[in-house]
Amino acid sequence: MDIKKKLSSLPNQPGAYLMKDDSARVIYVGKAANIRKRVSSYFNRQQPSRKNEILIRHINDLEIIPTISEHEAFLLESRLIKQLNPRYNISLKDDKSFPFIKITKGDFPRIFIGRKKPHENVEYLGPYTNSKLLRLALKSLRKIFKFCTCRIFPKNACLDFHLGLCFAPCAGKISPYEYKRNINEFKLFLKKGSRVFVKAIEKKMKLLAQRKKFEQAIELREKIKALGLVSQQAQLENWDALGLATKPLRIEAFDISNIGGSQAVGSMVTFIDGKPSKNDYRRFKIRMVTGIDDYAMLDEVLQRRYNRVLKDKLEKPNLVVIDGGRGHLGVAVGALERLGLCVPIIAIAKDQELIYTVKNGVPLKLEKENPVLQLIQRIRDEAHRFAINYHKLLRKKKVFDKQ
């Protein structure tokens, strides 16, 4: 694949990136505060280092995993390096030279950062490649998980308790069971990542609510909110409802505009990672259809667009959005099937904002506040605006030509 073409579609957000060779093996894992800028820098350097020069030569594909923050990207990078052992990453086999998160044993485990020592009676998480970023990550996570960092327990609750950074087990403010449960949640987040963590915590919340332990359920809900993951988990669930496993990175949306069949046009807008990519917008003057036939016009536009995608080997969308209802969806599915192109398609009808999918016989009605619905509406409205503006331009041009 053309890696440089893919660079323009990368998101401007934190995350991890995986570089793969022509056998789809991961050869390098990295982290970034801004994925697009970091990954692009590998290919924009005029004099790359010897290591990067060799690495670039072997890159055939990229995979990215967006995160909420740079801290989470850092933790994810370390986990992926340990799991995948990529060829071109710094070797982490010599554990002594890298920092670890150290969790002590006992009723009230304490958490530190340090080097690995033989025969030490602690649990190690890591290693991590950047001690400065590790400290920043733990500083943020401590506001949520409130773990103890005292080497020796004080007799009374210290300032950290009053600042909301510790449950003060030294002063009996929390039971050993509750404190260990909190530490286990902290370890789950570090080992498995935010998605697995949120799913596990939501399952616990439901069980607690069923048992009428509402205060504990609310505590867990607040913990998820503190991680800033509630809206993201909702997006994951709702994309799944649309037949998608994850949030689509590249979305292309279509609309048709005409008055009585006159000056009929089609528009396509492209959103990458939820943001408009105006260089990828396209306009279509209807050529093959006369009269009022929105279905035939839509079919023509889709055929022309995706014939070009296949012919020129352009990047395919992860989702196609059609302005319309069940009939428009059927036309779109048929157009892409004739081209042998397998891409998820949905249609959204303006009147009740119902979403039509291929798998669901009944249209979906999402809540107005739903972030997925809001994104689809925004993309649909942009496609409509772009089509109307082109239609008006052609009408003005026609009037001008007659004068």
More confidently predicted of 320 and 80: 320
Domain membership of residue 55 (yes or no) is yes
Least confident of 127-131, 165-169, 251-255, 361-365: 127-131
Which residue, 29, 64, 84, sits at the end of a domain?
84
Residues 153 and 274 reside in one and the same domain: no
User: Residue 79: which domain range?
Assistant: 3-84
Percentage of the chain beyond pLDDT 70 is: 86
Using CA atoms, how far residue 389 sits from 21, 378, 383, in Å, is 44, 16, 10
Residue 303, pLDDT > 90, answer: yes
Nearest Cα to Cα of residue 67 among 229, 253, 249? 229
Number of domains into which the chain is organized: 3
Assigned domain for 227 exists: no
User: pTM value?
Assistant: 0.45
At 170 the pLDDT is 87
Predicted local confidence at residue 295, as pLDDT = 92
pLDDT reading at 92 higher than 60: no
Mean pLDDT estimate for the chain: 81
Residue-level pLDDT at 262: 64
**Same domain, yes or no: 259 and 357:** yes
Residue 135: inside a domain = yes
Q: Is 354 found in the same domain as 286?
A: yes
pLDDT confidence band for 69 (50 / 70 / 90) = confident
Q: Which residue has the higher pLDDT, 346 or 288?
A: 346
In angstroms, the CA 165 to CA 364 distance is 43
In this predicted structure, what is the pLDDT of residue 389? 84
- Which of 125, 143, 170 terminates a domain? The answer is 170
Q: Counting Cβ atoms within 10 Å, is residue 214 exposed (0-12), middle (13-18) or buried (19+)? A: exposed
Instruction: Tell me whether residue 49 is in a domain.
Output: yes
